[in-house]
Amino acid sequence: MMGESSLAFILFCLAIILIWQAVAEAGFWPDYIFPSPAGVLFAIIHGIGDESFLHGTIASLKRMALGFGLALMIGVALGVGISQSRLLERTLGTLVLGLQTLPSICWLPLALLWFGLNDKAIIFVVVMGAVGSITMAISSGISNVPPIYVNAARTMGARGWSLFSEVIFPAALPTMVSGARQGWSFAWRSLMAGELLYVSAGLGLLLQMGRELNDINQVVAVMLVIMTIGFLIERLFFTTIEEDVRRKWGLGKRKA
């Protein structure tokens, strides 16, 4: 099953590369406007060889790890608070929902004014990208725990912290994991936007450098790297955890 679909995907990629190569060779556009697969491949090999991709990736992932870690901590605290108090739900909960409609890159100018031209500003944008989804997922996960689980646990003597850690938390976990995945993907998009606008190391810088040097092969190569890393973390890491949890919980596949 899996083998069949990955085979189909590989064939699909090969076909695209062949068509791409054919169009590039036909020479409708000069090669500084339309890159060729070979040129991009060379840029990738070059980027790997001089370790610029590695350092860029490490710089970006460090920011992600820091920002996402902070967002997790803040999101869990806010989410638990909102789920426990009607008042917080109506005030803070509504505010978080409202802020979620603001693309988090819009925080960058403010962050630059607050923190100056440094990493703090960009990490702030990452935090703002992830924290809303995480908060909402934690609070809705907790408030939608079926009361029957809580009641059953209470008749078996679960109280306070043990009720939370042994019943409410695991019951809400599938929703929380989905929220974390969504938070990560928002944060990743904001980070890339941030690194393009305010340039200092990272994959966004490499992309921007490609443009400044008029090196279209480098631009496309970095785009492929960004896509691959996004795919690996979002699809493989988070989605695998999410599906594992859902399978174990007997929930079946998530739609779409």
Interacting residue ranges for other proteins, rule: CB under 8 A: 148-149, 151-158, 162, 166-167, 170-171, 173, 248-251
**Least distance CB 133 / other proteins (angstroms):** 22
Residue closer to other proteins (CB basis): 167 or 220: 167
Residue closer to other proteins (CB basis): 32 or 249: 249
Residue closer to other proteins (CB basis): 212 or 244: 244
**Least distance CB 118 / other proteins (angstroms):** 43
**Least distance CB 143 / other proteins (angstroms):** 18
Residue closer to other proteins (CB basis): 46 or 246: 246
Residue closer to other proteins (CB basis): 128 or 167: 167
Q: What is the DSSP string of the chain?
A: -HHHHHHHHHHHHHHHHHHHHHHHHHTSS-TTTS--HHHHHHHHHHHHHTTHHHHHHHHHHHHHHHHHHHHHHHHHHHHHHHHH-HHHIIIIIHHHHHHHTS-GGGGHHHHHHHH-SSHHHHHHHHHHHHHHHHHHHHHHHHHTS-HHHHHHHHHTT--HHHHIIIIIHHHHHHHHHHHHHHHHHHHHHHHHHHHHHS-SSSHHHHHHHHHHTT-HHHHHHHHHHHHHHHIIIIIIIIHHHHHHHHHHTT--PPP-
Beta-carbon-side half-sphere exposure of residue 16 (alpha carbons within 13 Å):
6
**Least distance CB 243 / other proteins (angstroms):** 15
**Least distance CB 158 / other proteins (angstroms):** 5
Residue closer to other proteins (CB basis): 123 or 138: 138
**Least distance CB 151 / other proteins (angstroms):** 5
